[in-house]
A and B are shown apart, each in its own frame.
Chain A
């Protein structure tokens, strides 16, 4: 009799191994709205449909035209002239029968202006290829629904842009790549101390000696050290070396030659667990001290903050400065029996800690006037196991980011000073100026202003004129206006030649004195904020003519789907700011503005 495997489990097997059935359930309950189904939107949604979301609704006002056949896989040649939203919906549904799709043939900007209630029925709104002015409005609308999270994605020539916007994203299972084992060898609890002390290593037979878990070895060595050093643990590097030597001194020998004992090798490698100090990770400390878990904790607070408040009570009480024990131990050289016994000691301590946290949770719920059982034991266990990795990401609104009163000019200046993105290099030849991802952020916003003024993007033929080929516009002609728009963006952020407000002290712009000249030709000095918006980048943005290349759209579609999955499953950590993908230099940068 073999195991029964659910057919859906087979289909999703490779992703279930990443986010588990509970993560998959969240995906399968998620209703998504996509604005615009050109390649960027279509690729994003394709990846999410494959993953098994509950449903999607596409809002797009265009008809399928020749241009779509050159960059969009989710349209077919036979569908020319039909509503693009309809065609993409039908072709997406072929990818996964469990997902239901619908569409609205409408220009998204119109919906944003005339029918904001439309967005109330979605968990996630993915807005693609849209301009700043409309995104700012949509951001406000989504936040007002109290439900819809917003994800903004854009492919613009060889530049990609992505930004989530929601007030607060709370994560229990952040699943960091590298996690230190929670061994507590520097401050063992009584049951662990007793377990370690119960081993008489000296009189153990060779097999037992060589199969005693390294935890026992280290705790015995630590205990001996403390006795000889007035209760202290090794502190200086000389002491740490001496401690390791004392551990090695516990090896069994034959004729003076140490026997091959793997558990002692492991003990030497893990010795740092003894003298490292226990620290609550910085992000978690921030959460414990967060107002949302303290004075602002209310009956309608999210359970996350109730749990954080309970964890804080634990840390201040039973935990004596520590979080609940995680409870698992890594594999180590040992007999099955000894390993399982040690495993049980850790598991039981974790269970006691969880029970203590649970008591705090019930007490807090009572204080808040909520039913004591409104948070399940399973949930509390999950929080305790992942206590060291809790995260909360808060996103400023687009309005806050872009408005002169609240713009983070200094952060932008720092990004512009930083030059090239992560490890990459722009410029065709040696000696060309670096390709600055922060500058691309400014240029995208400048392109939107250019559009607002002229009705088209820099280097692009007028919008909505089919048949306008690449040769219609000389991109170089658009550089001056784009530059001016970029200077305006800088100025709104308090940088550049004509700052609207006084620049923050130490800001890279620092050209408050330059004034005059309307910013059109000024401020190109290298090393300045304005200087980062160099001629090469201006020329490239104009050259791109707001092209939507399939490869860039496919890249951004992958990134956007990834971010959407994190927002929906509430596992892993989403990009905490504005992502700029620079496909000229193959770099990515996250700006926190």
Chain B
């Protein structure tokens, strides 16, 4: 089969000069060669509603070496949109089946599955990819991936991001008819943490309402789930995937509703409330995934102008999208060159660490921080603790000579390193 014939449509855009293109666009056959080469490895995080679409879109955009990671197995309720899966696959790992189906359908593509948790993969594995696309369904998972990718970012002495350490990441998300696609270039665009305020807090019912004055079916359900379960089945961890557990909660909720004269408790509602089910359809997933892969393609080849940097999408009333250029948070603990901190050069390292823990915005991320300066451990928990302990009583000005130096703080509560920029300028007294 003739490669040029096969990729005719793609080649029209990759080999021909354009006007509305990314910076440094060089049209030619080398672009598709690059996409198809082992030098171009793309990671797809998630093999669910977005992931299946992303894999297909990547494969049919010329990318050959694709990895996909997902820790879940296939469920019947996935089948209305996760088109790579069939009824007979229920129970199998999503990543494995997804990879098999793409490999079988698209000649030449090499999708490698990882059936596992994102937290269990080494940083170097993530570092090996040219670009990472997220098809996740949780805030926490996104924050984790964000900290990993931003963790690779290094700044030069002038405070400019070192281009070679920038790992592009494209993030998509959907909910019913709504969705978003964003491009994260650490050091340039805001990272996920910079714009955490975009995601509204999850509303929880007050406990007194659940316990004393239920008014809605959801109150009855959460009472059974959050209060009664612990009382009647202590020590037993509630498992949302366990059908017996679900039925138990449903029946208790129905009893409570009847007792209070409240209508509307159904098994479907029970599942929705307890599992926090997000409605999902194939069409929105297709749209957002396509936008993500399109942006990935633009990042890799510059063949068209890129999304800068956040697109929100609403398809329930007509169709509306809005592209916004959000700004980085200059004091972002995850991606900034360093959160500035006024430090007394005469303070000891221990006092500096205490200052970190006491800081109103930084302290909440920390419990027992380790501090390093470049490649030197100033104080490290773990195997180097004994060696670095003497530094705790040493003067900061001696350990870190340069005003404006950036220290790296690590902590088991952090998902990635935090940067702190030391400012000796104004001596600080408690």
Q: Which residues of A contact B (CB under 8 A)?
A: 2-3, 5, 7, 9-18, 39, 43, 46-47, 50-52, 65-67, 69-73, 76-77, 80, 94-97, 157-158, 174-177, 211, 331-336, 339-340, 422-429, 432, 435, 459-460, 466-467, 469-471, 475, 535-537, 539-540, 543-545, 547-552, 554-555, 557-559, 561-563, 565, 572-576, 579, 583-588, 590
A536 to B304, CA, bound (A): 12
B305 near A95 with CB under 8 A, answer: no
Contact B215 A466 (CB under 8 A): no
- A551 near B86: Cβ-Cβ < 8 Å: no
Assess A427 versus B80: contact at CB under 8 Å? Given A211-B213, A547-B10. Answer: no
- Return chain A residues, CB-CB under 8 Å to B19: 428, 535-536, 539-540, 543
Are B323 and A423 in contact (CB-based, < 8 A)? yes
Does any Cβ of A come within 8 Å of B281's Cβ? yes
The proximity string for B residues 258-296 relative to A, scoring 1 for CB distances below 8 Å and 0 otherwise, is 001110001110011000011111111111111101110
Most buried by B among A17, A65, A549, A554: A554
Chain A residues with Cβ below 8 Å from B324 are 423
Contact between chains at A576 and B247 (CB < 8 Å)? no
How far does the Cβ of A251 sit from chain B's closest Cβ, in whole Å?
19
CB contact under 8 A between A558 and B267, given known A11-B77, A73-B60: no
* Chain B contact residues, CB within 8 Å of chain A: 1-2, 4-13, 15-23, 25, 53, 56-57, 60-61, 76-77, 79-81, 83, 86-87, 105-107, 176-177, 209, 213-216, 243, 247, 250-251, 260-262, 266-268, 271-272, 277-291, 293-295, 297, 304-305, 307-308, 311, 314-324
Q: Give the chain A neighbours of B15 by CB distance below 8 A.
A: 470-471
Which residues of the partner chain B approach A339 to less than 8 Å between Cβ atoms? 213, 215
Q: B79's contact among A11, A424, A548, A554, by CB below 8 Å, is which? A: A11
**Alpha-carbon distance A539/B214, docked complex (angstroms):** 64
Which residue of chain B lies nearest to A13 when distances are taken between CB atoms in the complex?
B77
Q: A52-B80, A336-B262 are in contact. Are A551 and B57 (CB under 8 A)?
A: yes
Docked pose: A16 CA to B277 CA in angstroms: 12
Complex Cα spacing A557 to B214, Å: 44
B18 touches A562 (CB 8 A): no
Partner pick for B294 among A5, A67, A551, CB 8 A cutoff: A551
Q: Shortest CB–CB separation between residue A356 and chain B, in angstroms? A: 24
Complex: how many Å from CA A280 to CA B205? 33
Q: Determine how close the nearest CB of chain A comes to the CB of B15; give it in whole angstroms.
A: 5
A469-B8, A551-B57, A554-B290 known; A10+B76 contact, CB < 8 A? yes
Contact, CB under 8 Å: B287 / A559 = yes
For A50, list chain B residues within 8 Å (CB): 79-81, 83, 282
- Among A7, A16, A544, the residue within 8 A (CB) of B13 is A544
Q: Are A583 and B11 in contact (CB under 8 A)?
A: no
Whether A551 and B297, one on each chain, are in contact in the complex, defined by CB atoms closer than 8 angstroms, is yes
Residue from the list A12, A211, A536, A547 in contact with B12, Cβ < 8 A? A547
Residues in B with CB closer than 8 Å to A586 are 291, 295, 307, 311, 321, 323
Contact A17 B5 (CB under 8 A): no
Q: Is there contact, CB below 8 Å, between B285 and A558?
A: yes
Q: Which residues of A contact B60 (CB under 8 A)?
A: 39, 70-73, 550-551
- A11 to B89, alpha carbons, bound, how many Å? 13
> Across the two chains, which residue of chain A brings its CB closest to B254?
A3
